[in-house]
Structure 1
Amino acid sequence: MIYLGVGANLPSPRFSTPRETLEAAMTDLDRRGIVPVSVSRWYESAPVPASDQPWYVNAVCRVSTGQDAATLLANLHAVEADYGRVRGAVNAARIIDLDLLDFRGEIRDGAAGPVLPHPRMHERAFVLFPLRDVAPDWRHPASGAAIDSLIASLDPDQTVRLLGSAGQGCVS
């Protein structure tokens, strides 16, 4: 299986909300031979690290494609550019962020292609909660840790909630 993380915390010039931008981008992925198979529920998450940025909208999408990991990542970056993402400061607010989280369980150090799995995914509530929606039995390819175990070990300062549930606290 192939899992992508999608997120944004700024509106784009073409769409009024980050979620609308991300939904349109997932449609554009299909046009590039990256077929969404399932999408998690939508979540809101506080910026990591903590800052005064707007909260992010996040989801995880399971996709199917015949592309290799490097080509897939290049296509993700092309979609980001099409939607107005300009890469600048690390952890900056963004119109769109498409991350390759897990590519068929492969483990790579980045010497020949992307680092796999995504190097910080196991530390991020905004990745793990939506990933659990689409892959409740998923295990980290490198550590073998179950997703529920990774969620239980998250830093308690990370705040994530279902989109539209403001004030209801953290998802568990």
Structure 2
Amino acid sequence: MTKAGVYIGLGANLPSPEHGTPRATLEAAIAALEAQGLAVVARSPFYESEPVPVSDQPWYLNAVVEVATDRDAVATLALLHSVENAFGRVRNIRNEARVLDLDLLDHRGTLRQGPDSPLLPHPRLADRAFVLLPLRDIAPHWRHPVSGLTPAELLESLPEGQRIRRLSP
């Protein structure tokens, strides 16, 4: 049985040779996830955000989708990495500019800590406005599996300085 409650963060700040702009790349990535059997049940607006940590690289385009799947967390993360690879994602340095970034934020409240991936909930989810704002848009009543806080409550505790703006459709 396919179940919802799986949240994926999407980001890009480099153009893709195949798909073009970061926006077109994220649209194509959402279509690729659906083609691989993840049913998108909710999708946030796009946000433009300054890189975290702040750097001279281009601003990111971000969104969050909620999907329904019968895959477990490990299989879901493997699928996300497969889609990233198909889009030309190269992993060299943490926080570097990228064509596509797909993060498994939460998998139906699963808690996974320790050396094995995926760590759930995503370990930096609560520190990033570019995740919390779009998550609040599609799942305002979602609660962080560890703290129990909603996206709005987590946003209130963020330090100032993360520059982000919601884009029109």
Both proteins in one fold, TM over 0.5: yes
**Unaligned regions of 5+ residues in structure 2, if any?**
none
Whether 1:159 and 2:157 are equivalent positions in the alignment is: no
1:70 is aligned to 74
Which amino acid letter does the alignment assign opposite residue 84 of structure 2? Answer: E
CA deviation string 1:12-59 (max 9, x = no partner): 001221011011111111121111111101000000000011000000
2:91 is aligned to 87
Could you tell me the TM-score, scaled by structure 2's length? 0.94
Query: Secondary structure, in 3 states, of the residue corresponding to 2:147?
Result: coil
1:59 is aligned to 63
CA deviation string 1:76-96 (max 9, x = no partner): 000000000000100000000
Query: Secondary structure, in 3 states, of the residue corresponding to 2:45?
Result: coil
Could you tell me the TM-score, scaled by structure 1's length? 0.92
Cα separation, 1, equivalents of 2:11 and 2:115: 26
Alpha-carbon contact 1:45-1:161 (below 8 Å) kept: yes
Give the stretch that moved more between structures: 146-155 or 120-129: 146-155
Deviation (angstroms), 1:163: 2.2
Cα separation, 1, equivalents of 2:71 and 2:158: 32
Alpha-carbon contact 1:57-1:163 (below 8 Å) kept: no
How many positions carry a matched residue from both structures?
A: 165
1:129 is aligned to 133
Query: Secondary structure, in 3 states, of the residue corresponding to 2:10?
Result: strand
Which amino acid letter does the alignment assign opposite residue 86 of structure 2? Answer: D
Cα separation, 2, equivalents of 1:10 and 1:113: 26
Q: Percent identity?
A: 56
CA deviation string 1:108-166 (max 9, x = no partner): 104454100000000000000000011011111011112211101112110110126xx
5 Å-filtered alignment, 1:1-172, equals 1-163=5-167
